[in-house]
Structure formats: C-alpha cells, structure tokens
C-alpha cells in the first residue's frame, strides 16, 4: 500500500483518519496544506510526515531566503516529536538556499527523500527477516507499516519479507488508544497483504505474554537518541517492560532518518494531544466532560529494555551508544 501518490506534478495523500471504512485522497499543493495534513493527522507516521513536509516546502510560492525559512519553521512545528519531520524539512531547505534553480531542486530533494525512505524500509525488512522464525507470533504497536512510511513499513517490514520468503508468521496488533492506529490501520494493511492478524485491546498485552501467546515484539520509532532511548507511540514503554518481565525479545525498527544523535533526553518534546481524543469515542462522550486528562502521544523506552535495533544499515546490539553512532 502506498499512502501517497506523486506523478511528478501533483501530490495526493490518503486520509488516514477515515480508514478503514473510507479511502479518500487529499491533494497537497502548498506548505500550508502539508502543515494541516500533518497537524490534523490526515497522514501520520514518522517517515511519512517527513516526506510530505519535504514536498510541502518544495511547493512554496517563493524561494526567497527569508520566505522559505519561514515556511520551513512553520512545517517543523506541525508535530514536534518525530525527528524525521525536521530532518526532511532541513534537507530541502539546505538544498534550496544554495541552489540556482530552487523550485526544481526542492522537488528533486523531496523526491529523493521519498525514494530513500522506500529503500530504507525494504532494507529494514531484509536485515530484520532473519530474526523471524517460522511460526513466530509477533506483537506490534501502533502502525509502523506501509501507512506510516512507504510500502514495506519499518516494524512490519521484517514480517513482510519473512512472508515473502515463505515463513509463517502471525501478528498481534494492539488497538493503540486513543487514535487507534493499530485497530484502524495496522490490521487493515496486514489483512490486505494476507497476514494472519489478531487485534487486541491495549490492556491485553500483559496477559497475552503471561499466556506465552506471543514470542517477539517489533515496534517502530519516532526518534531514537544517541544512547538508544526510544521515543515511540504512547504505550510502547509498558510493552517493553512487560516483554522484559516475560523474557520476550523486544526489537525496535527504524530508518536512519529517525536517529537523532544531537538531542538530549530531557530536551525531547513529547506531543500532548487534545483531551477530546480521550473523552470522546467517535463523537460520543464516554467520560465526564470536565475530567482532567493527560494525553501524551508518545513515551520513552530506555535502552536496557531493547534487545536490538533493526535499521536500514543492519542490526544493532548493545553497547548501543557506540554501535548506533558507528552504524547510523
């Protein structure tokens, strides 16, 4: 599945808010369109928001330096946590300010980022595939599949390659409250690809592990720090703790565009989203309207809970600080 269509002239993105019931495509033709699509989660997932933001900047009406800088800063604020967004916008910006043909070069850079992400996802699949054994039951959280990247995905890429190579693999997808990326998106794309997938409420993870009904965990990442701290969808940390408790390998898949060697742990901004996401389900209020809500979109998993990172450059085992820096 490709969540974006680019024909060299127009960019269309699949409105992921409507999945799995409706497939509606939305046209992106300005930095503002890209900003809104990212902020409102029309599209989401770390690599994909990077790609769409890159195109967004390339659609700027002017490439005068201060104007393009302003657009780049606006785009970077659409969502604060996934590093891919700032990384991709900065790449297009750097290309533009030193160019004689900024409009053409900006588009070329955005296309390049898109193609690179496609290749990185496939490479994650190739490197991760040997970790998957025939008959494995793998739990994944949120959506780190085609809909979060392009084609293979990150966490789902090793499963796709394993399936291509004839291995039988079953997938457990968590619902991923409150935005339900697991229920709405992961199950949708995996069923389309013919996987055996079981949906569970987030609260079932511990019991499932206790019953030994899962033997590996693979999640994606929105940002991985130099020392191996993993910033990913809220709920990842508790899954990692439970995996450790039950001696289940916990893998984190990421493209090199998600590695952030510069930011310190305390400086990572964790996006907090509207209380309405928690108080309402499909427009129906399920909690007192004045209740206090804490709704962070991401959490942080410490490196000691990670068995290995699956990247587009290879598998990375501890010591993470040394090996992440060396490889990525």
Task: Kindly list the residues in this chain that would bind ligand MRU in the complex (CB under 6 A).
Answer: 44-47, 82, 142, 144, 148-149, 154, 181, 220-222, 232-233, 297
Smallest gap from Cβ 239 to ligand MRU, in A, equals 11
Q: Smallest distance from the beta carbon of 254 to ligand MRU, in angstroms? A: 8
In the bound complex, what is the minimum distance in angstroms from residue 7's beta carbon to ligand MRU? Answer: 24
| Closest residue by beta carbon to ligand MRU | 220
Annotated catalytic residue, options 33, 222, 260, 312? 222
Query: Cβ closer to ligand MRU: 95 or 233?
Result: 233
Min dist CB 221 to ligand MRU, Å, is 6
Report the nearest approach of ligand MRU to the CB of residue 171 (Å). 14
Neighbours of 59 (CB within 10 A): 19
15 is known as an active-site residue: no
Nearer to ligand MRU, 63 or 152 (CB): 152
Pick between residue 51 and residue 208 the one whose CB is nearest to ligand MRU.
51
Residue placing its CB nearer to ligand MRU in the complex, 176 or 307: 176
What does the H/E/C string look like for the chain? CCCEEECCCCEEEECCCCCCCCCCEEEECCHHHHHHHHHCCCCCCHHHHHHHHHHHHHCCCCCCHHHHHHHHHHHHCCCCCCHHHHHHHHHHHHHHHCCCCHHHHHHHHHHHHHHHHHHHHHHHHHHHHHHCCCCEEEEECCCCCHHHCCCCCCCCHHHHHHHHCCCCEEEEEECCCCCCHHHHHHHHHHHHCCCEEEEECHHHHHHHHHCCCCCEEEECCCEEECCCCEEEECCHHHHHHHHHHCCCCEEEEECHHHEECCCCHHHCCCCECCCHHHHEECCEECCCCCCCCCCECEEEECHHHCCEEEECCEEECCCHHHHHHHHC
Active site residues: 222
């Amino acid at each position: 599945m490709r969540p974006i269509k680019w024909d060299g002239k127009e960019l269309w993105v699949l409105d992921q808010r409507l999945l799995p019931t409706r497939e509606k495509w939305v046209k992106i033709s300005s930095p503002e369109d890209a900003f809104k699509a990212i902020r409102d989660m029309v599209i989401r997932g770390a690599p994909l928001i990077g790609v769409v933001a890159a195109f967004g900047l390339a659609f700027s009406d002017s490439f005068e330096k201060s104007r393009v800088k302003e657009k780049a800063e606006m785009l970077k604020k659409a969502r604060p946590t996934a590093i891919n967004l700032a990384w991709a916008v900065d790449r297009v910006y750097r290309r533009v300010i030193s160019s004689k043909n900024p409009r053409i070069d900006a588009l070329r850079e955005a296309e390049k980022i898109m193609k690179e992400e496609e290749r990185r996802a496939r490479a994650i699949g190739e490197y991760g595939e040997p970790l998957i054994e025939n008959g494995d039951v793998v739990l994944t959280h949120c959506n780190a599949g085609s809909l979060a990247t392009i084609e293979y995905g990150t966490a789902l890429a090793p499963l796709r390659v394993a399936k291509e190579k004839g291995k039988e693999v079953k997938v457990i997808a968590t619902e991923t409250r409150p935005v339900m990326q697991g229920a709405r998106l992961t199950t949708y794309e995996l069923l389309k690809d013919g996987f055996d997938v079981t949906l569970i409420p987030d609260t079932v993870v511990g019991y499932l592990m206790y019953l030994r009904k899962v033997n590996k965990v693979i999640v994606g990442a929105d940002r991985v720090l130099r020392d191996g701290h993993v910033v990913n969808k809220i709920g990842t940390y508790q899954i990692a703790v439970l995996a450790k408790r039950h001696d289940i390998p916990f893998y984190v898949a990421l493209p090199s565009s998600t590695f952030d060697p510069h930011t310190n742990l305390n400086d990572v901004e964790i996006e907090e989203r509207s209380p309405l996401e928690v108080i309402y389900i499909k427009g129906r209020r399920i909690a007192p309207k004045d209740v206090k809500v804490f709704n962070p979109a991401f959490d942080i998993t410490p490196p000691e809970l990670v068995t290995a990172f699956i990247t587009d450059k290879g598998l990375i085992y501890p010591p993470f600080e040394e090996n992440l820096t060396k490889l990525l």
